[in-house]
Copies of this chain bind each other. A is one copy, B any other.
Amino acid sequence: MAGIIFLDNASTTKVDDRVFEAMTPYFTQQYGNPASLHDLGQSAEDAVEGSRRHVASLIGAKPEEIYFTSCGTESNNFSLFGLAKSLKGRGRHIISSSIEHISILNPLKDLKKEGWDHTLLPVDEYGSVSPEDLKKAIREDTALISIMHANNEVGTIQNLEDLGKIARDNDITFHSDGVASAGIIPVDVKKLGVDSYSFTSQQMYGPKGAAALYVRKGLRIKPYLIGGTQERGRRAGTENVPAIVGFGQAARIAKQELGKNAAYLEGLRNAMIEGIMAGIDNVKLNGHPQKRLPGNVHVSFEYIEGESILLLLNMEGIAAASGSSCVSQALKNSQVLISMGLSPTTAQGSVLFSLGKFNKRQEIDKTLEVLPPIIEKLRKMSPLYKES
């Protein structure tokens, strides 16, 4: 939409024009089913395999280690349920963290009913998992560790290399949810030492409807969607060819431009954080001050609530997000913020501005201009705020 300042890139991203163009033929011209023997099927299959190479290359994997799925949630469900099934001989304990995405946490709850115990590691005030805590949590029967790479809310990037080494030293399979990181920061699954890694197209300027699970060659995992022999029998269902083509292009472009984009975003981000701190008092920056996603500006405005901030920003044409319970469908405060030790009141006043490569400096300036009066207006209404 013209004129909208989209600072909600953590929820999804605009599709890059080049990506959309690459997808276009696959709807009304190259519409074949990759399973078909004929030329239209073959060209669809070639397109899917081409994408697989791009997607693999983005994270330093081999093409045959990539399985396409429909969304990040499916990749995470596939990994946890699929690995749990193949690992149950190894033990029945999983270690994860308290700031994981709900598509990790809910499967863990379900697995509990099937006899799997789990430990959720705490995080410090910046949202970091400590390798020491991980070491201590490992039990004789720990079969799987699942720790996200970057947090989608506060942007904190975990030290996966250290965590992965601990997993390896203890011969425990290691999954990481990379939905918020892949395509945004450099990812090399071999260096990170992960056995399985989820990521999705719609977070890197690709289309919705395509995501992937990296599964290290040789790792046993049961399929989750079952039926036909697509994806070498590990994910049944007709491939979403156009979306996969888009994902491939998005991955190709991301690999190429990642360094440039990250530097640009860090500049914007730092300017925005400084601008907010300078213009408004009683604001707290959430997440790690350095080890954070380049586009992440997550702040809490004391004394007021996030939904009302978002609504007023929206009136000014600015799109953002919040960890307030009033914004969540589940009517709960962001678990991430609470785990980091924020008080519920402070968590209520949180706003996530997630910047993307299409954002312009002027958009940040405009936001910095309209934000103080919005905060001021709401604080004036708040029973918690005493004007000084």
A interface, CB within 8 angstroms of B: 1, 4, 6, 8, 11-17, 19-20, 23, 27-33, 35-41, 43, 70-74, 76-77, 101-104, 106-107, 110, 200, 202, 207-210, 225-229, 236-243, 307, 310-311, 313-314, 318-322, 327, 329-330
Q: Is the CB of B36 within 8 A of A8?
A: yes
Of all chain B residues, which has the CB nearest A36? B11
Q: Is the CB of B70 within 8 A of A229?
A: no
Pick the residue among B102, B226, B307 that contacts A227 (CB under 8 A).
B102
Chain B residues positioned under 8 Å from A77 (CB to CB)? 225-227
Q: How far is the CA of A33 from the CA of B10 in the complex (A)?
A: 10
A110 with B28, Cβ < 8 A, contacts A12-B33, A102-B236, A236-B73 known: no
Chain B residues positioned under 8 Å from A31 (CB to CB)? 12-15
Pick the residue among B4, B33, B43, B209 that contacts A39 (CB under 8 A).
B4
Pick the residue among B6, B16, B38, B104 that contacts A8 (CB under 8 A).
B38
Q: How far is the CA of A329 from the CA of B236 in the complex (A)?
A: 12
Chain B residues positioned under 8 Å from A17 (CB to CB)? 28
Q: How far is the CA of A88 from the CA of B41 in the complex (A)?
A: 41
Q: How far is the CB of A318 from chain B (nearest CB, A)?
A: 8
Pick the residue among B1, B4, B6, B202 that contacts A238 (CB under 8 A).
B202
Q: How far is the CB of A385 from chain B (nearest CB, A)?
A: 23
A1 with B20, Cβ < 8 A, contacts A11-B36, A38-B310, A226-B110 known: no
Q: Is the CB of A107 within 8 A of B307?
A: no
Q: Is the CB of A15 within 8 A of B38?
A: no
Q: How far is the CA of A12 from the CA of B44 in the complex (A)?
A: 12
Chain B residues positioned under 8 Å from A322 (CB to CB)? 37
Q: How far is the CA of A103 from the CA of B71 in the complex (A)?
A: 19
Q: Is the CB of A319 within 8 A of B36?
A: yes
Pick the residue among B30, B227, B242, B318 that contacts A1 (CB under 8 A).
B30
Q: How far is the CA of A8 from the CA of B41 in the complex (A)?
A: 10
Q: Is the CB of A208 within 8 A of B238?
A: yes
Of all chain B residues, which has the CB nearest A322? B37
Q: How far is the CA of A225 from the CA of B241 in the complex (A)?
A: 21
Q: Is the CB of A27 within 8 A of B226?
A: no
Can you list 22 residue pairs at the A/B interface with Cβ under 8 Å? A4-B38, A8-B38, A8-B40, A11-B41, A12-B31, A12-B32, A14-B31, A20-B27, A36-B319, A37-B307, A70-B237, A72-B238, A73-B236, A77-B225, A102-B236, A103-B237, A107-B227, A208-B241, A208-B242, A208-B243, A228-B329, A240-B240
Q: How far is the CB of A44 from chain B (nearest CB, A)?
A: 9
Q: How far is the CA of A27 from the CA of B206 in the complex (A)?
A: 9
Q: How far is the CA of A374 from the CA of B237 in the complex (A)?
A: 32
Chain B residues positioned under 8 Å from A307 (CB to CB)? 37
Chain B residues positioned under 8 Å from A106 (CB to CB)? 226-227, 236
Q: Is the CB of A242 within 8 A of B11?
A: no
Chain B residues positioned under 8 Å from A320 (CB to CB)? 38
